[in-house]
């Protein structure tokens, strides 16, 4: 009996030990699972935090710089000619403004001449034909896109349009407003994930319409037609444009106030969906206007004046033809809301300095404030300094902030 009793105690003891051992194992597994669940929860929380950080608003910002009429009268291309090398060099003209143009994400200018080739004969007003080296200088200055729909685009006929487009492309730039063949495409530049539609139109062709057939005229030059402009804006939007920029050649020459037609058309284009309207042709600065639509500001400058020309007080009896401006627009896109806005506007008045040195004529575009601050390596004649300063005041008085 005692032996059997001892075996029973031994069995119970063993069972108890086994139960305790199994309990410890189960408890440890429970703790490990709890820690794993807790750790997994922390990881998931961290993942959620990562997602939240990723979903913070993403903003992209670019600068668009625009200038007015770029013209080459005969004294200018003659001044650029090097008799020793028998070549043309226009690059010194742009040396003082190059830093501004290069810094822009997109730089635009109105190329108001053609480059039909030396065989046609170079000429200035009234029917321009400029050495193509002028385009090389613009490229080296930092320009990206040139508008070619203006009243001088037919100065050398169909050949002038085609050769000018080819030369612009040869130097790595693009043009808008004139075309070599039927083309329904709208130029959309995508910069830092912001899509910018670029459109260009002109009021007329100096009576040279007959240089093209009716069919050629229908597609080679964009002329101001309200239905076409409205349609082009709609198509730009359908192609995903975040911003619609219109470069338009309009208005009355030498008038410092926009015409009733300019104001009406400008406001209509904003109503149709345009965001930035850059005017040219009057050869003098005209005012700016901000139009708020759907809670966003849209920008119009009715005329940016002459960025470069030989027009001066001495030969036009109009000092305002010497004035130009670089319009610098900061564009911002919020990728969460999808909204694109004009964040800031900056104006850099310019003045064309024409002078002689050792019997040779020079043209240089001066950012006026840089000159006033003593930042330019140029010595303006004492008699011209009052004109330069007045140019700055006259230009800034036309800007909306003043």
Q: What is the pLDDT of residues 334-362, one digit of tens each?
A: 999 999 999 999 999 999 999 999 989 99
| Mean pLDDT score across all residues of the chain | 90
**Residue 31 domain-assigned (yes or no):** no
Task: Compute the average pLDDT of residues 82-99.
Answer: 97
**What band does 24 get if pLDDT is binned at 50, 70 and 90?**
low
Distances (CA, A) of 241 to 133, 143, 191, 284, 368: 33, 21, 11, 31, 35
**DSSP symbols for 212-254:** S-HHHHHHHB-B--HHHHHHHHHHHHHTT-SEEEEEEE-S-TT
Which pLDDT belongs to residue 400? 73
Between residues 327 and 40, which one has the greater pLDDT? 327
Task: For Cα atoms 188, 270, 199, give the angle at the middle one, nearest 5 degrees.
Answer: 30
Please check the confidence at residue 25 and state whether its pLDDT lies above 60. no
> Range with the lowest mean pLDDT among 17-26, 32-41, 244-253, 318-327?
32-41
**Residue 178 domain-assigned (yes or no):** yes
Which pLDDT belongs to residue 87? 96
Q: What are the b/e assignments for 145-183, b being 16+ CB within 10 Å?
A: bbbbbbbbbbbbbeebbbbbbebbeebebebbbbbeeee
What is the tens place of the pLDDT at every residue in 360-390? 999 999 999 999 999 999 999 999 999 999 9
What is the tens place of the pLDDT at every residue in 293-318? 999 999 999 999 999 999 998 888 89
What is the tens place of the pLDDT at every residue in 146-176? 999 999 999 999 999 999 999 999 999 999 9
**Residue 165 domain-assigned (yes or no):** yes
Only one residue has tokens 């050949």, namely: 159
**Residue 246 domain-assigned (yes or no):** yes
Q: How far apart are CA 372 and CA 366, in angstroms?
A: 10
**Residue 316 domain-assigned (yes or no):** yes
**Residue 145 domain-assigned (yes or no):** yes
Can you give the length of the chain in residues?
A: 402
Characterize the bridge pairing of strands 59-70 and 323-334: antiparallel
Please check the confidence at residue 16 and state whether its pLDDT lies above 60. no
Please check the confidence at residue 51 and state whether its pLDDT lies above 90. no
| pTM, full prediction | 0.86
Q: How far apart are CA 41 and CA 63, in angstroms?
A: 45
Which pLDDT belongs to residue 57? 66
Q: How far apart are CA 161 and CA 156, in angstroms?
A: 8
Q: What's the structural domain count of the chain?
A: 1
**What band does 23 get if pLDDT is binned at 50, 70 and 90?**
low
**Residue 14 domain-assigned (yes or no):** no
Hey, which residues does 129 pair with through a beta bridge? Answer: 123
What are the φ/ψ torsions at residue 375 (nearest 5 degrees)?
-95, 0
Please check the confidence at residue 55 and state whether its pLDDT lies above 60. no
Which pLDDT belongs to residue 402? 42
What is the tens place of the pLDDT at every residue in 183-223? 878 999 999 999 999 999 999 999 999 999 999 999 999 99
Please check the confidence at residue 8 and state whether its pLDDT lies above 90. no
**Residue 209 domain-assigned (yes or no):** yes
Which pLDDT belongs to residue 35? 44
Query: Residue 75 maps to which CATH number?
Result: 3.60.21.10
Please check the confidence at residue 255 and state whether its pLDDT lies above 60. yes
Question: CB-based contacts of 322: which residues, under 8 Å, 6+ apart?
Answer: 306, 311, 312, 313, 351, 352, 387, 391
- Domain of residue 92, residue span: 59-397
Specify the 3-state DSSP secondary structure of 277: strand
Specify the 3-state DSSP secondary structure of 356: strand
CB distance 368 to 391 below 8 Å: yes
**What band does 40 get if pLDDT is binned at 50, 70 and 90?**
very low
């Amino acid at each position: 009996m005692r032996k059997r009793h001892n075996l029973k105690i031994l069995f119970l003891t063993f069972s108890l030990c086994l139960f305790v051992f199994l309990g410890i194992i189960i408890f440890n597994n429970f703790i490990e699972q709890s820690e794993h669940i807790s750790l997994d929860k922390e990881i998931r929380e961290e993942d959620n935090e990562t997602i939240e950080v990723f979903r913070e608003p993403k903003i992209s910002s670019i600068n668009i710089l625009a200038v007015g009429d770029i013209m080459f009268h005969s004294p200018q291309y003659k001044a650029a000619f090097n008799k020793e090398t028998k070549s043309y060099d226009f690059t010194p003209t742009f040396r003082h403004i190059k830093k501004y143009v290069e810094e822009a994400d997109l730089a635009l200018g109105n190329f108001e001449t053609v480059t039909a080739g030396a065989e046609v004969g170079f000429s200035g007003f009234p029917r321009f034909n400029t050495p193509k080296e002028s385009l090389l200088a613009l490229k080296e200055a930092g320009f990206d896109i040139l508008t070619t729909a203006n009243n001088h685009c037919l100065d050398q006929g169909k050949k002038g349009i085609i050769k000018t487009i080819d030369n612009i492309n040869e130097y790595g730039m693009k043009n808008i407003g004139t075309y070599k063949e039927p083309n329904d495409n709208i130029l959309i530049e995508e910069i830092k994930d912001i899509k910018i539609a670029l459109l260009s139109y002109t009021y007329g062709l100096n009576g040279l319409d007959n240089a093209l057939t009716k069919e050629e005229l229908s597609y080679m030059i964009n002329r101001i037609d309200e239905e076409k402009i409205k349609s082009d804006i709609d198509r730009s939007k359908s192609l995903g444009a975040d911003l619609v920029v219109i470069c338009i050649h309009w208005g009355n020459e030498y008038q410092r106030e926009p015409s009733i037609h300019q104001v009406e058309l400008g406001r209509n284009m904003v109503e149709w969906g345009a965001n930035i309207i850059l005017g040219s042709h009057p050869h003098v600065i005209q005012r700016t206007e901000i139009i708020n639509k759907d809670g966003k500001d849209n920008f119009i400058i009715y005329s940016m004046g002459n960025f470069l020309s030989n027009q001066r007080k001495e030969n036009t009896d109009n000092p305002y033809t010497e004035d130009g401006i670089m319009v610098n627009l900061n564009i911002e896109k919020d990728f969460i809301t999808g909204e694109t806005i004009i964040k800031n506007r900056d104006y850099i008045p310019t003045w064309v300095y024409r002078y002689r040195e050792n019997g040779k004529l020079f043209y240089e575009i001066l950012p006026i404030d840089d000159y006033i601050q003593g930042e330019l390596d140029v010595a303006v004649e004492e008699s011209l300094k009052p004109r330069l300063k007045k140019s700055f005041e006259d230009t800034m008085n036309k800007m909306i902030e003043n």
